[in-house]
Amino acid sequence: LEAATDKLTGLPNRRLLESQLASLIERSTPFVLVLADLDNFKRVNTERGHRAGDAVICAIADALCEIARDDDCIARIGGDEFAAVLPGVGVEAARVFAERLIDAIAATPEAQRSGVTASAGFALSPLHGDTLEKLVFTADTALMAVKASGKDGGSSVARIVSAL
């Protein structure tokens, strides 16, 4: 189990997330993959130290778990990267969740004190692809488009994803 969870947050890690995605794809279960990346996080570690950065990451992980449904999967997939898998939802629910995710991150006191916000992008299976690689690429492309538009994706999530 340790190899499948993030040591700091206790969330599933990239390995477990990819396994769950592969299982959903194999069963042809429609789902949404949301990728989120923290904005201004590196500054926290640089200016306030890794302990402060860890506190921000843990608070954000808790906030994301609070907005998730029981069958959703929230994972930490990198230093300041999170993912959510939402089985059985469509584009509107995905957009709403992505906006709630961004708002939940911004609302954590630790993020507010540190000036940390988030950007998010998402992909729908099978609409945007029937392989893990295609879905991750699409969600990441949407995320990068949000970041290129000035970070803190909020209201631009829907516009960018609908263009995919």
User: Which one of 54, 80, 103, 140 is the catalytic residue?
Assistant: 80
Annotation marks residue 80 as catalytic:
yes
DSSP symbols for the chain = -GGGB-TTT--B-HHHHHHHHHHHHHTT--EEEEEEEEESHHHHHHHH-HHHHHHHHHHHHHHHHHHS-TT-EEEEEETTEEEEEEET--HHHHHHHHHHHHHHHHHSHHHHHHT-EEEEEEEEETTT-SSHHHHHHHHHHHHHHHHHTTS--TTHHHHHHHT-
Catalytic residues: 80
